[in-house]
Chains A and B, each alone.
Chain A
Amino acid sequence: MMAVETIAEDSSAWRLPPSRTGATSKRREIYSYRFAAMGSPCEVQVDDPDPSLGDRLGCVAEMEALRIEHKFSRYRADSVVGRINGSRGNAIALDEESAALLDYAQACWEMSGGLFDITSGILRRAWTFDGSDRLPEPSLVNRLLPHVGWHKVRWQRPNLVLPEGMEIDLGGIGKEYAVDMAIARIRAESDVPVLVNFGGDLAVTGARVGGGRWRVLIDAMDEGDGKAAWLEIVSGAITTSGDARRYVMRDGVRYGHILDPTTGYPVVGAPRSVTVAAPTCVEAGIISTLAMLRGREAERFLKGEQIPAWVTR
């Protein structure tokens, strides 16, 4: 989601004032290391011109991204998620990291009143978000709904029993978790400021050299719209939830791709995109997902939580 075009002003409710020209960042070369992982273009920006340092840190991030992808990808039968989804109702013993993620997902499910639910992934079988006007048959959605719901899962650390027919999908936090873990590994290697961006979910290790700010372009709208916003950060993470490319349009109503796990249908009145800033990428990701799920109440939810966020409709 990183665009490089020039920008016009964004009309969302909370807008970061544009920076003064040349006020904060020195004209310093940023080393950019790019690779692909988790189905997205990934980039590591290192605030140091030395290419060997940049390659080393970029490699650390790439290794961590690939490790997490291989461990938690639902497309691989030998990954932790693949084994869980193929367990046919038998108990699976999980390692420390997977157990910690499931504990976390469970706590988020509890705190969000059931809106954040890692068992809701199978609902995608009913929906094809390709910009067409195809809505699923209600009976198809109704047949999937009984297989959705974290309360049906038996999770007693370290053993998980997933009833047959259910699936878990860590896609909702996997990429953000990978960003935070990559940041941690990079910090262990070097004090040089680094920005890690996995497909639009990004975080920084700290301010740029000399205290300058990282500049990030958020491209939140439909292609060709030309609207975007600058954000400047010195710490923490930013994620964006949005339906710029994945939606169904029918009778003038736009159905975004974030599905409400309690109904099986996209949330009514969801914003087009929500960009959230938070201390870690995982937090930003959960908050932006929850904001989308609040539909028309997204702005009120974000304002109530006092989180810096930008909503576009």
Chain B
Amino acid sequence: MQLKPAKPGHLAAGLSLLTAALLASTSAEAQDSQAHGLMQEDAAAPGTTTVDSAVLFYKESGGRVQAIEPTTEITINRLNGDTLTASFTFDSLTGATPTGATPWSQPQTFTTLIPAPSHQVASTSASGNRTIVTVPGTGLVQSSYSVPANSLPVDSGFHDRRYAGSLGYSLLMDPDTRLKFGGALSFERDYASYSGNVGISRDLFNKNTTLSLAANFEYDQSKPYYGTPTPFENYAGQITGGHDHKTVVSLVGGITQTVTRFWLTQLNYSFGSNRGYQADPYKILTVVDAASGAPQSYLYESRPRSRTRQSVYWGNKIQIGPTVADVSLRYYHDNWGIKSITIDASEQVPFGRNFYVEPLFRYYHQSAVNFFRYYLVSNAALPQYASADSRLSRFNATTIGIKAGVRLLPDTELYVDVERYRQTGAHNDPTAPGALASMDLFSGVHALSAMTGFRFKFQ
């Protein structure tokens, strides 16, 4: 322990926080229960540091994306009420993702032109299914891969690593006012993101109500190895574009209210505006024959360069007997045509003093963006925007899972969480031409995720 004298004028505020923590922890309830159960432990008080280290294992079925993501976060609660938070995350992804092309009753070959590889270029093929053919006199090569008949085209063998970190500081200006600011960085082979945020919150009515407002500014750079395709550029040709970028500005305003001794509620309104390159540089659409549905060519997708988003979120924490229920609702709407609703519910149930189990359930529904297309039709006029990315299509998703935590030592907890996520949506488009009308165009995700983490507190 070290002497950390309070700044002049700030001692009373820090003392107030400490005393509240002391009297809460020695309260009649705490004493009557002799020792705190794991679920009765208090949130970190001033003067404590919390370290939380966890890892996520994520696997989609059907040979699709797999990821491992370890992360660590350190939160230092200073005696004067300020908080410093720092986190670091590493993310390793492998596997296949749908390209957006439609399946066909014959095998398909996807060929593109790329600069001739020098000894520095890493092979993009993990499964060896890419063939390279030199085009003489051009310094270019043809890179091709094939997909079998009657299967959804996926691009396999990509491997990406991401490094991300964030830092945030929250200042207690006076006992009822907090000022926060922070920043985050994220780097992967073909993408970089830089962001900064500021926020302010104010307590009213004996801290029963908290009003908060925050703004986030983000600058993202998209730098795919072979360049950024222009909208509807032909997949067979060489990409001529370079890097591209987008900027994101968002605002969140919220009210947090203590309703009763057992119920805390929060209502947030968020607004966001994205400007710039927002397409997925690897996603394509098939141009199919108007009569038979056979693939004729492939074009890169095209998305608008501006997007405005709004959402309303309502979250609750309710103590019901010895258990704590977490129920939230979110309604989201943007000018690309997405309307979505999310319902989340979980209940944390203690068993004995040192263990809890928390089943959880989530339901999600979204409409499609107004430019979603399973395919394009040849000889028809190109629309202004089009994307076959399943993330922009209409679907429902449910998550069921269970989390459990055990207290091994005082102020430490080991937790595990397993969740199953399933997207469901339309499997075929009966209006599709020819044989395509009966083919399964669904590319939604079925995934299993498992997280485990360890957190501990010290003074």
Q: Give Cα A111 to B10, complex, Å.
A: 10
When distances are taken between beta carbons in the complex, the residues of chain B under 8 Å from A150 are 1
The reply to whether the CB of B19 lies closer than 8 angstroms to some CB of chain A is yes
The reply to whether the CB of A79 lies closer than 8 angstroms to some CB of chain B is no
What distance in Å separates the Cβ of A231 from its nearest Cβ neighbour in chain B? Answer: 19
What distance in Å separates the Cβ of A66 from its nearest Cβ neighbour in chain B? Answer: 15
What distance in Å separates the Cβ of B231 from its nearest Cβ neighbour in chain A? Answer: 60
Q: Interface readout for A273-307 with B: 1 if CB under 8 Å, 0 if not?
A: 00000111011001100100000000001001111
Q: Give Cα A307 to B16, complex, Å.
A: 12
User: Contact: B9 with A111, CB < 8 Å?
Assistant: no
The reply to whether the CB of A188 lies closer than 8 angstroms to some CB of chain B is yes
When distances are taken between beta carbons in the complex, the residues of chain A under 8 Å from B380 are none
User: Contact: B9 with A305, CB < 8 Å?
Assistant: yes
User: Contact: A110 with B47, CB < 8 Å?
Assistant: yes
Residue of B2, B22, B27, B35 near A110 (CB, 8 A) is B2
Q: Interface readout for B7-47 with A: 1 if CB under 8 Å, 0 if not?
A: 01101101110110011011110110011100000000011
The reply to whether the CB of B259 lies closer than 8 angstroms to some CB of chain A is no
User: Contact: A111 with B12, CB < 8 Å?
Assistant: no
The reply to whether the CB of A36 lies closer than 8 angstroms to some CB of chain B is no
When distances are taken between beta carbons in the complex, the residues of chain B under 8 Å from A280 are 19, 23
User: Contact: A111 with B15, CB < 8 Å?
Assistant: yes
Question: B residues 321-354 with Cβ under 8 Å of A?
Answer: none
Among B2, B18, B22, B31, chain A packs the most CB atoms within 10 A around the CB of B22
The reply to whether the CB of A106 lies closer than 8 angstroms to some CB of chain B is yes
Question: B residues 31-77 with Cβ under 8 Å of A?
Answer: 31, 34-36, 46-47
User: Contact: A106 with B12, CB < 8 Å?
Assistant: no
When distances are taken between beta carbons in the complex, the residues of chain A under 8 Å from B4 are 110-111
User: Contact: A104 with B27, CB < 8 Å?
Assistant: no
Question: A residues 44-67 with Cβ under 8 Å of B?
Answer: none
Given known contacts A96-B30, A100-B26, A103-B459, is B15 in contact with A283 (CB within 8 Å)?
yes
The reply to whether the CB of A185 lies closer than 8 angstroms to some CB of chain B is yes
What distance in Å separates the Cβ of A157 from its nearest Cβ neighbour in chain B? Answer: 7
The reply to whether the CB of A16 lies closer than 8 angstroms to some CB of chain B is no
Q: Interface readout for B73-103 with A: 1 if CB under 8 Å, 0 if not?
A: 0000001100000000000000000000000
- Which chain A residue lies CB-closest to B48? A103
Q: How many residues of B are counted as interface, with CB atoms below 8 angstroms from the partner's CB atoms?
A: 32
Given known contacts A100-B22, A101-B22, A103-B459, is B27 in contact with A111 (CB within 8 Å)?
no
Among B14, B19, B79, B80, chain A packs the most CB atoms within 10 A around the CB of B19
The reply to whether the CB of B3 lies closer than 8 angstroms to some CB of chain A is yes
Q: How many residues of A are counted as interface, with CB atoms below 8 angstroms from the partner's CB atoms?
A: 38
The reply to whether the CB of A114 lies closer than 8 angstroms to some CB of chain B is yes
The reply to whether the CB of B291 lies closer than 8 angstroms to some CB of chain A is no
The reply to whether the CB of A113 lies closer than 8 angstroms to some CB of chain B is yes
When distances are taken between beta carbons in the complex, the residues of chain B under 8 Å from A250 are none
User: Contact: B12 with A157, CB < 8 Å?
Assistant: no
Q: Give Cα A168 to B221, complex, Å.
A: 60
When distances are taken between beta carbons in the complex, the residues of chain B under 8 Å from A151 are 1, 3
What distance in Å separates the Cβ of B436 from its nearest Cβ neighbour in chain A? Answer: 68
What distance in Å separates the Cβ of A188 from its nearest Cβ neighbour in chain B? Answer: 6
Residue of A113, A278, A304 near B3 (CB, 8 A) is A113
The reply to whether the CB of A108 lies closer than 8 angstroms to some CB of chain B is yes
User: Contact: B12 with A110, CB < 8 Å?
Assistant: no
Q: Give Cα A151 to B3, complex, Å.
A: 9
The reply to whether the CB of B126 lies closer than 8 angstroms to some CB of chain A is no
When distances are taken between beta carbons in the complex, the residues of chain A under 8 Å from B3 are 109-110, 113-114, 151
Residue of B9, B11, B26 near A290 (CB, 8 A) is B11
The reply to whether the CB of B5 lies closer than 8 angstroms to some CB of chain A is yes
User: Contact: A104 with B18, CB < 8 Å?
Assistant: yes
When distances are taken between beta carbons in the complex, the residues of chain B under 8 Å from A110 are 1-5, 47, 79
The reply to whether the CB of B410 lies closer than 8 angstroms to some CB of chain A is yes
The reply to whether the CB of B437 lies closer than 8 angstroms to some CB of chain A is no
- Which chain A residue lies CB-closest to B23? A180
The reply to whether the CB of B133 lies closer than 8 angstroms to some CB of chain A is no
Residue of B1, B6, B28 near A188 (CB, 8 A) is B28
What distance in Å separates the Cβ of A56 from its nearest Cβ neighbour in chain B? Answer: 16
Q: Give Cα A305 to B18, complex, Å.
A: 16
User: Contact: A282 with B5, CB < 8 Å?
Assistant: no
Q: Give Cα A286 to B459, complex, Å.
A: 21
User: Contact: B16 with A279, CB < 8 Å?
Assistant: yes
Q: Give Cα A185 to B23, complex, Å.
A: 12
Residue of A181, A282, A307 near B12 (CB, 8 A) is A307
What distance in Å separates the Cβ of B174 from its nearest Cβ neighbour in chain A? Answer: 9
Among A100, A107, A150, chain B packs the most CB atoms within 10 A around the CB of A107
- Known contacts A107-B79, A280-B19, then 18 further A-B pairs from the complex at CB < 8 Å, ordered by chain A residue: A96-B36, A97-B31, A100-B26, A101-B26, A108-B15, A109-B3, A110-B5, A111-B15, A113-B5, A180-B23, A181-B26, A184-B27, A184-B28, A280-B23, A290-B11, A301-B8, A304-B8, A306-B9
| Complex A-B: 18 CB contacts under 8 Å | A96-B25, A96-B26, A96-B31, A96-B34, A100-B26, A103-B459, A110-B1, A111-B18, A188-B28, A279-B16, A280-B23, A282-B19, A282-B23, A283-B12, A283-B16, A286-B15, A305-B11, A305-B12
Q: Which 7 A-B pairs have the closest CB atoms?
A: A113-B5, A305-B12, A111-B6, A304-B9, A104-B22, A100-B25, A110-B4
